[in-house]
Every structure is written in C-alpha cells, then in structure tokens.
C-alpha cells in the first residue's frame, strides 16, 4: 500500500497485551492480514496495576502474569488498516490478548472529526473557497514613482477607462492600460503595469521640468502679445523682432514676425520666406484675481464626548459597531483607520477592517470679522502666487482690496508680474507667393 492509499483508507496504531502475542501474530500471518511497523516499547511500571488481568478467574495465574509483565516492562505496538483491524478481533479472543487503539490517522477519521465540528469544518471550507475565488480578481491598485499626479487623480482616471478593484484579471490588458495613461498624461514619459496575485501595480516615471505644448509641425507663424504689458527681455530663436525692451504693447500686437525677407547683393528684395517664429518675449504685466468668502462660517465646538467602535467591510457590504450607538439628535465627527486583509505583499482580499472614533460637537454660525477675512485673503493670495512661481512667472508686487456685500466678502487681488507673453498666431502660406509677385511688378 502506497502512501496515498494509506492516507485515503486510513490507519490505526494498536497496542497489544497478553501472553499469547506470539501465537496471535502467527495466526494473523496465516490468514494474510498485513501488519506494519511492529515495535517493542518500554512502558512505565505504574501502568501495570493488574486491572488489565481482571478477566482471569484463577488467582494464582493472574498473579504470575502480573509478575511476568512487571519483570518485562515492555509492550508491542503495530499499525494496521481499519478493515484488517476488524479481522483481528476473533484472533485476539482466541489467543487471549487485548488490543487497544492508541492513534488514528487518515481521511476517514478526519471526516468523523468534521461531523463532530461541522461549523468549524464549514467555516474552514468557506474560507479556502473565498481565497480561491478571490484569486481571479483584482482587489488592490497601487502606483509607484508618481509625484506630480496623486494616487487619487490616477485612480479617478482609471475609473473612466474603466479599470478598478473587483474586475476579473483576464479583463485587464496591461499594454492597453499603459498606452491610455501615456496619452492622457503627457508629463508621464514611461509606464509599466503588472498583475501579481490580486494586485495591480502601475510604475510610472515623470518627465523632469515643466513641459511645453508641442505644435507638432513647423507651419509658418508669427508671435503676438497675449496680454498688455511693457517688454523687459527678448530671446529670439527664429523670426524678425518687431519690438525692443521698454516698448509698451497691446494684446494682439506682433512681437516677432514670421516673414523673413531675402535681398540680393544690391539690397533689392527678392522674396519673402515665411518661417515658424520662435522666441521668448518677457513683459511686465498686471494680473487680477477675485475670490468670494461667505459672511459667516460654521464653527464646530467639541463637547468632549467621544465614542469608539470597529467596522468590517466585505465587498460593498459594511458592518459598523459603534459603542454605544450615536444619537441622531447629536452631531458627531467620524474618524476612521482602515486596513485591508492580505496574505502576502501581492495577495489582497476584499475584506477590510478598522477602528472608528467619533467626537461630538455643537455647530453654530460665526460672523467673520474684517481681520479674519484679511487673513483668509492673504492665505488665498499666497497660494495663488506660489502656483505662479512654480510655472516660472516672476512676481514683482501684489495688492489686495476687500469689499463687503450683504451675503459675502469680495477679495480683489492685483499682481504685477514678469512673464512670457508671446503667443503663436498662424500665417497663411499663400502670402509668400503674393509678396514675391508684387515685388516683380
């Protein structure tokens, strides 16, 4: 019997006592009963209390047997299948030996144990079934290498594809996902997506610096002013400059022309080539921005009462246990720490758990003073100026004015900045032919 058959049929370990052990093994061998792993073991003398020989009526014979056993202090153990063990019972009665099962192994005995503990066995089976079924789905999406774009931004984009938690792994194409991310975010130069276990990991590498939009062609164009201002600096790469530092320009004025004249040796205009003007024209301009702030704001004053609880989530079903329950007539702020069940780094399950904390508060409306509105205005303006600085715009000065109406405060911010005002404006290509013909006439 091989190991698998032995495990499937089961086996028992038997201890044998009595004077007819030798005769017992001989009869079993004659009847073709397979007995394995026969061994002799030492047993404590305390086990020889005479009770195992109470079936002997002859007092003298009983005493002699006890003396013989104590002198030997040994017993014989062996392994046999449950089916053959039943065949040993008549032989044991015939040879006056006693059989005692000490251990049970194999699948039949596991089933008996499962019947005795049906809830435990059913829960264990359901647990492994959940793991098996969950392995076909994606239950976690993570990103690596993103700095400019947050995880929330990328997850929101993936929801529109859609690629999200709970999808079958075979429905997700990593190649298509990489292509869609590159097309949606030009600032991301390299993308690699991989499915490992129940986790989708997206590795990205962002381009350094601030990228400028590419025209995609060298079509003839000229640069015009995108806003009013005073020119401070010009860097020309291609084209004819029409302004100089210190000139005041209006929106739409030509800064750099895309018409390149060609002269012969006698300084006669031969023709005019149209080129793609390329330059940076920095000018001192004025930017205005406006914010509105309500006259009142909600204040949440804590009462000092706190509640703690736990919650569990399986798929989209949530179970919250907040002890004690929150009263509906009260106002509470909830804070949650959530964690997801996982077996390894890349094998997540759709099971979540965490701790809930609640803090009771009393809401009331507070009328903002002009000092508080001024502080808010400074905060908004500083954030706006920081965004401009990150875009490479130099800030020379700022001014803030605050006005109040019946329902809100209005904040007017004025900034003096130095920025590139050059804006591409296309030129029709047929101008070259018209001008050349006019020169010849």
**Which of 23-27, 102-106, 239-243, 256-260 comes out lowest in average pLDDT?**
102-106
What pLDDT is stored for residue 406 in this prediction? 78
Instruction: Give the residue from 255, 273, 271, 253 showing the smallest Cα distance to 263.
Output: 271
Alpha-carbon distances of 242 from 2, 151, 219, 245, 253, rounded to whole Å:
97, 47, 20, 11, 9
**Is residue 214 very low, low, confident or very high in pLDDT (cuts 50, 70, 90)?**
very low
Q: What is the largest CA-CA distance in the chain?
A: 151
**Is residue 18 very low, low, confident or very high in pLDDT (cuts 50, 70, 90)?**
confident
**Is residue 38 very low, low, confident or very high in pLDDT (cuts 50, 70, 90)?**
confident
Q: pLDDT by residue (tens digit) across 167-183?
A: 999 998 898 999 999 88
Residue 32 gets the label, from left (phi > 0), alpha (psi -120 to 50) or beta, of: left
Cβ burial of 319 (10 Å; 0-12, 13-18, 19+) is exposed
Count how many residues are written for the chain: 441
pLDDT(44) > 70: no
Which of 283 and 315 is assigned the larger pLDDT? 283
- The set of long-range contacts for 269-272, using a CB threshold of 8 Å and a minimum separation of 24, is 269/439, 270/439, 271/432, 271/435, 271/436, 271/439, 272/431, 272/432, 272/435, 272/436
Alpha-carbon distances of 256 from 246, 252, 253, 422, rounded to whole Å:
15, 12, 9, 8
**Is residue 50 very low, low, confident or very high in pLDDT (cuts 50, 70, 90)?**
very low
pLDDT(210) > 50: no
Query: What is the residue-wise DSSP string for 279-335?
Result: EEEEEEEEEEEEEEEESEEEEEEEEEEEEEEEEEEETTEEEEEEESPPPTTSEEEEE
**Is residue 116 very low, low, confident or very high in pLDDT (cuts 50, 70, 90)?**
low
Q: How far apart, in whole angstroms, are the C-alpha atoms of residue 25 and residue 29?
A: 6
Q: How far apart, in whole angstroms, are the C-alpha atoms of residue 162 and residue 119?
A: 40
Average pLDDT, the chain: 81
**Average pLDDT rounded to a whole number, residues 92-106:** 85
Helix, strand, coil share of the chain (percent; to 5): 30, 45, 25
What pLDDT is stored for residue 213 in this prediction? 44
Which of 114 and 224 is assigned the larger pLDDT? 224
Percentage of residues of the chain with pLDDT beyond 70 = 83
Q: pLDDT by residue (tens digit) across 131-159?
A: 888 889 999 999 998 888 888 889 999 88
CB contact at 8 A, 427 and 256: no
What pLDDT is stored for residue 73 in this prediction? 55
Alpha-carbon distances of 245 from 67, 213, 231, 324, 424, rounded to whole Å:
124, 26, 5, 73, 20
What pLDDT is stored for residue 168 in this prediction? 92
What pLDDT is stored for residue 208 in this prediction? 60
Instruction: Give the residue from 230, 367, 233, 385 showing the smallest Cα distance to 299.
Output: 367
pLDDT(338) > 90: no
Q: pLDDT by residue (tens digit) across 372-419?
A: 888 888 888 888 888 888 888 899 988 888 888 878 888 888 999 999
What pLDDT is stored for residue 184 in this prediction? 87
Q: How far apart, in whole angstroms, are the C-alpha atoms of residue 393 and residue 201?
A: 36
Instruction: Give the residue from 125, 120, 85, 117 showing the smallest Cα distance to 101.
Output: 85
**Average pLDDT rounded to a whole number, residues 334-340:** 86
pLDDT(306) > 60: yes
DSSP-based three-state secondary structure for 209: coil
Residue found by looking up tokens 């996902």 in the block:
177
Q: How far apart, in whole angstroms, are the C-alpha atoms of residue 167 and residue 401?
A: 53
**Is residue 2 very low, low, confident or very high in pLDDT (cuts 50, 70, 90)?**
low
**Which of 217-221, 239-243, 291-295 comes out lowest in average pLDDT?**
217-221
């Amino acid at each position: 019997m091989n190991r698998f058959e032995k495990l499937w049929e089961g086996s028992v370990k038997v201890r044998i006592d009595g004077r007819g052990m030798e005769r017992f093994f001989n009869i079993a061998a004659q009847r073709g009963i397979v007995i394995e792993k026969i061994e002799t073991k030492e047993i404590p003398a305390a086990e020889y209390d005479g009770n195992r020989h109470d079936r002997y009526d002859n007092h003298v014979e009983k005493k002699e047997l006890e003396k013989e056993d104590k002198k030997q202090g040994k017993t014989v153990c062996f392994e046999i299948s449950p089916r053959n063990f039943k065949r040993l019972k008549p032989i044991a009665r015939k040879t006056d030996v006693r059989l005692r099962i000490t251990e049970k192994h194999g699948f039949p005995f596991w089933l008996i144990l499962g019947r005795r503990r049906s809830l435990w066995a059913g829960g264990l089976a359901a647990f492994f079934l959940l793991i098996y079924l969950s392995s076909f789905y994606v239950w976690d999406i993570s990103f690596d290498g993103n700095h400019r774009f947050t995880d929330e931004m990328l997850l929101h984009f993936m929801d529109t594809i859609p690629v999200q938690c709970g999808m079958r792994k075979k429905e997700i194409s990593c190649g298509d996902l990489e292509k869609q991310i590159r097309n949606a975010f030009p600032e991301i130069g390299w993308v690699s997506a991989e499915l490992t276990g129940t986790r989708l990991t997206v590795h990205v590498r962002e381009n350094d610096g601030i990228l400028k939009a590419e025209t995609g062609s060298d079509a003839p164009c000229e640069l015009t002013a995108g806003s009013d201002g005073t020119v401070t600096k010009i860097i020309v790469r291609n084209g004819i400059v029409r302004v100089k530092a210190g000139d005041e320009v209006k929106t739409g004025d030509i800064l750099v022309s895309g018409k390149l004249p060609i002269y012969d040796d006698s300084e006669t205009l031969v023709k005019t080539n149209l080129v793609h003007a390329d330059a940076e024209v920095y000018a001192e301009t004025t930017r205005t921005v406006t914010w509105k702030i309500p006259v009142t704001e909600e204040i949440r004053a804590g009462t000092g009462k706190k509640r703690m609880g736990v919650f569990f989530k399986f798929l989209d079903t949530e179970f919250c246990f907040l002890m004690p329950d929150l009263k509906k007539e009260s106002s509470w702020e909830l804070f949650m720490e959530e964690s997801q069940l996982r077996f390894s780094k890349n094998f997540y399950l759709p099971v979540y758990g965490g701790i809930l904390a609640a803090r009771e508060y009393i809401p009331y409306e507070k009328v903002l003073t002009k000092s508080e509105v001024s502080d808010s205005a400074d905060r908004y303006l500083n954030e706006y100026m920081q965004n401009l600085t990150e875009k490479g715009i130099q800030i020379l000065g700022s001014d803030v004015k605050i006005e109040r109406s019946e329902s809100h405060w209005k904040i007017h911010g004025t900034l003096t900045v130095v920025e590139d005002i050059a804006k591409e404006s296309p030129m029709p290509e047929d101008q070259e032919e018209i001008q050349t013909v006019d020169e010849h006439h």
